[in-house]
Amino acid sequence: MDPKHLMQLAIIVELGSVTKAARKLNLTQPTLSRTVKIIEDRAGGAVLRRGRYGVTATEIGARLAAEGRAILRSSEQAQVAVQEWRNGLVGELRVGVGPMLAATLMGDFFAETIQNPPSYSLKLHCEVAARLAKRLRDDELDLAIIPYELDRQDDGLFRERIFREHLSIFVGAEDPLAGKTGIAPQELAQYNWISVGAISGLFDITRENLDWLGLPTVTPGIEISGDVTMTFRMLEKTKSCAMMPFRLAGRYQERYRVAPVGLTVELPSRNFGLWSTMASRDRPGVVDFIERLNRYLAKTISRPGDAI
């Protein structure tokens, strides 16, 4: 099947209209309708359903449109590669960042990187830790900055701890317990507990952690994965609490109007690491990125050997 036809079908499905797709592709509508007819003849059935509000894909149409989108992405990536080469950039570095780091530390780091741009382009991905680790193993990433103690088998991946961290309970800055020390966990029993990062299995309010705090009857009412700013907003506006990395969330407590609660029980450590494949670890771009990151962390956060 002609790849060009599949790309055109993908655009039709995306826009939900043959007319709009023809306009976008700078083609006539009859020309695009003929493309659809050719695809349907090859597929042996309809690829589009025509309705009152436009067109939608049939089952086979959706599968073929997905192939067309993949071809479009490859074409766009090739165009980007050519443009980067013309601009003097040597290759690209694919970096994964977890949601907590993305919402706190890494935005400032990449802003600093822009001021002194490297010789390679950066492709950034923000997802939960478990998905980023899978992307590394599938060779879809070169580096990932995620928790060091990832609770899964990660054969073939190299990791090094970049800074120490531990969990703490956070509430809104106006909460009566905000910033207090010597608080018994039982004082939080009536709060709305928010679980952060449930899909990744990291930073979540697990049964083990709740039992450790002596709160066997507490169950989180909300679980959030992928985004942490929603958690900050809920803490600001409601009588809620969430278990989050102390240093990362604490450094931004004024921006997000949250504050830690000093408990009588020590919470587990959650150190952060830089993960890579063994094959990519010595690449010049990877080495340069790690040097930049280490310089930035030396200025902004305590190093691995420091006491927490």
Domain ranges of the chain: 3-86, 92-153+275-300, 167-261
Mean predicted lDDT score pLDDT of the chain: 84
Instruction: Give the global pTM.
Output: 0.68
Provide the pLDDT for residue 103.
81
Helix count (H) and strand count (E) of the chain? 12, 12
| pLDDT single digits (tens) 174-210 | 999 999 999 999 999 999 998 886 444 444 556 778 8
Provide the pLDDT for residue 211.
84
pLDDT tier for residue 66 given thresholds of 50, 70 and 90: very high
Q: 92-153+275-300 and 167-261: same fold?
A: yes
- CATH code of the domain made up of 3-86: 1.10.10.10
Cβ atoms of 183 and 153 within 8 Å: the answer is: no
| pLDDT single digits (tens) 248-287 | 887 777 778 899 999 998 887 888 899 988 778 888 888 8
| Superfamily (CATH H level) for 92-153+275-300 | Periplasmic binding protein-like II (3.40.190.10)
* Alpha-carbon span 77 to 71, nearest angstrom: 10
Mention the CATH class of domain 167-261. alpha beta
pLDDT tier for residue 64 given thresholds of 50, 70 and 90: very high
